[in-house]
A and B are shown apart, each in its own frame.
Chain A
Amino acid sequence: MAAVQDGQVESDAEKETKPDASNDVAGNSSGGARSMSPNAASSASGAAKAAAPTGPGEQQTLLAVLQFLKRSKLLESVDILRREAGLSDELDESQTNDGAAAGSGAGSQGEGSVDAASLLRRVSVGGAAATNIAATTTSKGAEDQPDVSIVLSAYSQQGDPALYQVYYSGLKNFIESVLDCHRAELSQLFYPLFVHMYLELVYNNHEHEAKVFFEKFSGDQECYYRDDLRVLSGLTKKEHMKGNETLLDFRTSKFVLRISRDSYQLLKRHLQERQNNQIWLIIQEHLYIDIFDGMPRSKSQIDSMSGSLAGEARREANKAKVYYGLLKEPEIEVPLDDEDDEAENEEGKPKKKKPKKDNLGSKNKKQDPNAPQQNRIPLPELKDSDKLDKIMSMKEATKKIRLGPDTLPSICFYTFLNAYQGLTSVDVTDDSSLIAGGFADSTVRVWSVTPKKLRKVKSAADLNLIDKEADDVLERIMDEKTASESKILYGHSGPVYGISFSPDRNYLLSSSEDGTVRLWSLQTFTCLVGYKGHNYPVWDTQFSPYGYYFVSGGHDRIARLWATDHYQPLRMFAGHLADITCTHFHPNSNYVATGSADRTVRLWDVLNGNCVRIFSGHKGPIHSLAFSPNGKYVASGATDGRVLLWDIGHGLMIGELKGHTDTVYALKFSRDGEILASGSMDGTVRLWDALKAFDVETDDFTAATGHIHLPDNSQELLLGTYMTKSTPVIHLHFTRRNLLLAAGGYNSQ
């Protein structure tokens, strides 16, 4: 596993440099900025990468860390860091005091503190234990630092408050008067400008003007920003700005707009003619305008992509190569159907190869050009039991029903009755033999849905007595007296929001409001490890499809990659601007997708921790994710009731499924990927024709620009709607034979 740990915990693509940003200080700090990320064992590899171009943002980050350390009186750590980063004292001093320069650098405030946290944990392993705690709090405690005032001071420029309305309405009139084709594009400016102008007014204590400004123009904004506007409307005083996360998001991340060159020229000319410096300054400082050549986009094209907290994704953000293909299945002797007796076909025995078997295997024989290298991420060795399970699943797969628009799956609904405690999460094992539920009363309950009951392993004293040489030793270690249909796992101290079975069904992960992720053994039904690190509610966790690794994400906006045998995370994926609400592993285990309350989906590379895709387009927090079985697509569902489909390879939105009337909490593709099932708070399970949905023409131009025109064909894709009786659907699972299992807690009200 060492290979994995050697990678870097990097901050994401947000830090990309902007050409006009001051780049002069980048030179001497870049080496340091990079080398701080890897852990102590791999500082050498970090140094190797020192030549990579680095923005002033990372330097700013470093300085912030230094400052924090100093304040915390961790002088030793300061020295170490300074030595490693190669920073001089003078630079340190001059930079921190130079508030004006922060305009470009402070953009990475969020990531900075995150890096601080991870770094500190490694640096201070031998140091004071308290450091650890302090460091982890920085990720959230950032707003208490004086750096925040630097961040905010960008707003200190004074304009005549009374003129703000004039400026804004002037721009509004201008945009309304331009040609139709440009109007839609330029209208994107309204929301970010509105927000920043309002914040400037508030920052400069023009409370009344701010209120008037807000009341006058908030109605013009697109309806999908209303949640943010609600937050904003509560904020009327300068004092409130400290510690308001939403505000920091606006400020620390540049709002990204995509505008065609023609439209941009039009805007620039207008602003220069009118000498409208105030707006020009805001555009320069707080917005990132991604200019493209070609036809301006239409209103619907823009609407489908916008809605996220920080605007659309930059085009470069989605250009990295993603190996979305599946890994080659390991060679396993598959017993044929006619030789049903498994005892004869055990692994160890030599088996004659039969031609028929290759039908299954041949698909996997050829290496998918899009697949990552087999050992790109070290994966655990297959155990004998895993191989047996693989054989079982392949056998089952041969009995699988081919689904399609004409053969819809049967749905078996598992209702959690009497769940007064509030069912918050559900998971089903891959072979559909166990169901686990996480509850708001901090318990985790596991049910067996097959006749096989759940049994614990005998106690150590009893285990001594059994005959270890016996053939059925695995049977003998189980304690029959403990057999029952369900077991309760106690250990969390808050609602259990995420739950996930390991692929081999030996472990269960649960994440909770108490900030921990717990690993439970399903042999002994006890807690094995409590993974601490998030410190804030952990909204979701999931095992890798190959086991061993798992990912978790929560309120602290950082997704962490863990291995079950490490108590510290291997990777920290930082970049989301709001809570990470759901996490999902790619079928090839090389990537992790996270959905967030900032209304974006991000795809992270497990190898190097980079953010390789940013998908914007949702209009509400994302609560469910699902990869297609071939790894090419990902589907995401949000509180707005819409399901969006994304092409990972091209980084494009390729579909929108409208129909649900409430949050989509569950998404799942059928085993062959023909059907997408979605379950929602509105108590319906809907089935969609996934093949047809993915069958979208993408010519080179759309692929290059990402300006897709979505067909509005949700109703044609909808294959079925199945109502429950006031039971929200919170989990969906296709069995190996393509029977759909759904689960939810009955709500008697």
Chain B
Amino acid sequence: MAEERRQKQCSVVMPTESMKAMAESVGVGQLQEDSCVALSEEVSYRIKEIVQDALKFMHHGKRRKLTTNDIDHALKLKNVEPLYGFQSQEFIPFRFASGGGRELHFYEEKEVDLSDIINTPLPRVPLDVSLKAHWLSIDGVQPAIPENPPPAPKEQQKSEFTEPLKVVKPGQEEEGSIQAKGQGATSAEGLGRCPNRTEKGSIRIKPRSTHELSVEQQLYYKEITEACVGSCEAKRAEALQSIATDPGLYQMLPRFSTFISEGVRVNVVQNNLALLIYLMRMVKALMDNPTLYLEKYLHELIPAVVTCIVSKQLCLRPDVDNHWALRDFAARLMAQSCKTFSTTNNNIQSRITKTFTKSLLDEKTQWTTRYGCIAGLAELGPDVIKTLIIARLSVEGARIKAVMEGPVVSNIDKIGAEHVQSLLLKHCASVIAKTRPLPDVVDQYRTDYGYLGPMLCSHVVKARAQAALQAQQVNRTTLTITQPRPTLTVSQSTLGVSSGPRTPSIIKVPSSLALMSTRPGTPTQPSPPTTKYIVMATSAGAASTQQVITLSSAQSGSPVTSTVPSTPSTLQPLVKLESSSTAGMSRPLQKYIVVSLPSSSSVDSKGSGVLPASTSPISVEQSVKLERSESPAASTQSPH
């Protein structure tokens, strides 16, 4: 029984060792065991009594958390001096020293560099209490505004999907019928409301969901879709931001998903790369929205995404346009949705893997599709790479060799082969670096992996060196960055830089402010525009959010571009590094930004002049700081 379990918790007493320790701290040396037992019982009783009183203060403070203040007040009730010093975030800061027969408590002060203080931006002034009014309900209907929680919370959307025949709780049912009313569907009101009232508790078929949108929602849909595929980049950014954050989109989700799938269908035929990119970014934004549960619409979204990964042709000029970036981006989306939505029921991941593998094994597959398959598989994680890609390295190597060294075929094939090669090297090197034991012998690699062996070998060596260097660098710089657990950082950052796309890897070059993404980020419009985009992974864990940053000026970018090929591959620009994963979760600032130069090789230096955005670096006027806590909503601490 729960009661008994609680009972056990209640009869807990303080350990007698604690009593001894406390006695020693006040100068009582040898404490009898009996006294310890008696003391610990007494102390436990008193502590329980105080905590029970403190609970009263918690309840009256309208909180769920017991605070140290509550304990203080409870002590005050008992006419006991409250404990001071718990306001401080840190431990009690006093240090103790004794000498010359005197005891001294002092406050340990760190040496502070004044310039550091001057240069750090001022913290924001805490905002004063303010009052904000909003409509929680209008004539009994809760309006879908940012101040209110989403009409159907994610859990409910999920449960609707997974257990559609569940008995609908009257509370939810009420909400549902009210929503129906709110959509102006007068007929739905009559139908939806009355029967619900009469047959309570009986098992009903899943309520018919109305797909009628209110006028406002229709307007919103129109604006958003136009902005997403329109020409104005600023509007698009706003629209995507809205899709990614707005809580009230649940109703419009079917429309969006149809829009995306139809859009991809049409634009693939027309080879309109720009629109495909925009649509993929919409998918990304929908996935990022924490209030949406997309599972119901995957049947429309996944084909669209897969199309963007493996389609034979995505653009009009396959030799010039960077459709590779779109494939990479879509592959990452695919991997994310596999991770989020794959269950034992739908088996998304295995079905997707099978699809990719099948066309990879096909001899007649085009280089573009081949690239997409490999990218799609590689994004699914190191395990997939190990079992499915590395095993086929020699076969693929032979195929690439045939194109590169054989008789001159079409230029397109050659470019395709080059991309596949660099993709394979990039993904496999990091995995091999972790799994394959030292030493790296070129001949050994050649026998193991065929044509790609020697190149792979140099990549692996580089990857290992990079990891080692980073570790060193981090260790050296931890003194300036207050990094509580440097060892953890090292391993994580290594992993982040070398392999996983979802692992955030953020490095900053202190001297130059050149900035680029580790890998092709969001594909941008192929024809060189004045603005460029970089997608950076900023957070850890599953819910990796990607921030789109608009960077100005293509002109200022050009001088840096020229430096890239000249950068020797051995010189690693990674200097400062800070992990953004769980260790740093509590820290509000996430300061450092990844810069990693393209992984050398002649292919890149050749291509960098032509290929924009994803591989070409862009200079930034100022070091970009991403404050995770400073999303627009959090800055005012308002509930939206």
Using a CB–CB cutoff of 8 Å, the interface residues on chain A facing chain B are 211, 214-215, 218-219, 221, 223, 226, 229-231, 233-237, 239-240, 244, 407-424, 435, 437, 439-440, 445, 447, 449, 486, 494-495, 497, 513, 536-537, 539, 555, 579, 581, 597, 621, 623, 639, 659, 662-663, 665, 681, 685, 687, 715-716, 718-728, 730, 740, 742, 745-746, 748
Contacts and interface: CB of A to CB of B under 8 A. Distances in A.
A681 B62 contact: yes
B149 A440 contact: no
Contact of B135 (A411, A440, A746): A411
B148 A725 contact: yes
A237 B41 contact: yes
A417 B45 contact: no
A230 B6 contact: yes
Contacts of B137: 408-411, 685, 720, 722, 740
Contacts of A725: 147-149, 639-640
B202 to A, nearest CB: 13
A718 B171 contact: yes
Interface in B160-205: 170-171, 174-175, 178, 200
Contacts of B634: 748
A416 B134 CA distance: 11
B138 interface: yes
B113 interface: no
Given A236-B41, A665-B62, A715-B200, A726 B639 contact: yes
Contact of A746 (B4, B41, B142, B638): B638
Given A234-B44, A237-B41, A723 B60 contact: no
A219 B639 contact: no
B59 A623 contact: yes
The 9 A-B pairs at the shortest CB distance, nearest first, are namely A408-B140, A725-B639, A411-B136, A413-B136, A411-B137, A233-B10, A234-B48, A418-B127, A715-B170
17 contacts: A234-B10, A237-B41, A408-B140, A410-B135, A412-B134, A414-B132, A422-B62, A449-B133, A495-B69, A663-B59, A718-B170, A723-B142, A724-B149, A726-B639, A728-B62, A745-B62, A746-B639
The majority secondary structure among interface residues of chain A is mixed
A639 B59 CA distance: 9
A230 B59 contact: no
B10 A685 contact: no
A725 B134 CA distance: 12
B346 interface: no
Contacts of A665: 62
Contacts of B149: 723-725
Interface range, B side: 35 or more
A721 B147 contact: no
B632 interface: no
Contacts of B139: 407-410
Contact of A581 (B4, B44, B60, B142): B60
Interface stretch (B49-57, B237-245, B310-318, B520-528): B49-57
A412 B135 contact: yes
Which of A681, A715, A725 is the most central at the interface, judged by chain B CB atoms within 10 Å of its CB? A725
B136 A233 contact: no
A420 B87 CA distance: 14
A219 B3 contact: yes
A440 B7 contact: no
Contact of A418 (B6, B48, B128): B128
Contacts of B128: 418
B130 interface: yes
Given A720-B140, A722-B137, A748 B637 contact: yes
Interface in B7-21: 7, 10-11
A412 B69 contact: no
A215 B6 CA distance: 11
B170 A412 contact: no
B63 interface: yes
Contacts of A723: 142, 148-149
Contacts of A229: 3, 7, 10
Contacts of B62: 422-424, 665, 681, 728, 730, 745
Contact of A236 (B3, B45, B61, B73): B45
A418 B129 contact: yes
Given A234-B44, A411-B135, A495 B61 contact: yes
A621 B56 CA distance: 9
Which of A411, A740, A745 is the most central at the interface, judged by chain B CB atoms within 10 Å of its CB? A411
Contacts of B7: 214-215, 218-219, 229, 233
A288 B149 CA distance: 51
B131 interface: yes
Contacts of A221: 3
B1 interface: yes
B142 A722 contact: yes
Contacts of A418: 126-130, 636-637
Which of B4, B62, B128, B132 is the most central at the interface, judged by chain A CB atoms within 10 Å of its CB? B62
Contacts of B200: 715-716
Contacts of A414: 131-133
B73 A537 contact: yes
Given A244-B49, A497-B61, 4 more contacts: A233-B7, A413-B134, A685-B136, A720-B174
B77 interface: yes
Given A233-B7, A597-B56, A718-B170, A416 B129 contact: yes
A97 B343 CA distance: 78
Given A410-B138, A415-B131, A728-B62, A226 B6 contact: yes
B55 to A, nearest CB: 9
Contact of B69 (A440, A721, A726): A440
A233 B48 CA distance: 10
B133 A412 contact: yes
Contacts of B136: 411-413, 685, 722, 724, 742
A491 to B, nearest CB: 17
A234 B200 CA distance: 45
A421 B136 CA distance: 24
A475 B456 CA distance: 87
Contact of B639 (A237, A415, A497, A742): A415
B64 interface: yes
A417 B60 contact: no
A494 B136 CA distance: 32
A681 B64 contact: yes
Contact of A226 (B3, B73, B127, B640): B3
Contacts of A419: 129
Which of B60, B134, B142 is the most central at the interface, judged by chain A CB atoms within 10 Å of its CB? B60
B204 to A, nearest CB: 15
Nearest to A743: B131
B134 A537 contact: no
A147 B10 CA distance: 30
Contacts of A555: 56, 77
Contacts of A659: 171
A219 B134 CA distance: 47
Contacts of A497: 60-61
Interface string B617-640: 000000000000000001011111
Contacts of B131: 414-417, 435, 447, 449, 486
Contacts of A447: 131
B138 A240 contact: no
A494 B174 contact: no
A101 B360 CA distance: 97
A423 B62 CA distance: 8
Contacts of B48: 234
Contacts of B42: 237, 239
B491 to A, nearest CB: 30
Which of A230, A663, A685, A740 is the most central at the interface, judged by chain B CB atoms within 10 Å of its CB? A230
Interface in B550-596: none
Contacts of B6: 226, 230
Nearest to A745: B62
B61 to A, nearest CB: 5
Contacts of B73: 494-495, 513, 537
A418 B634 CA distance: 11
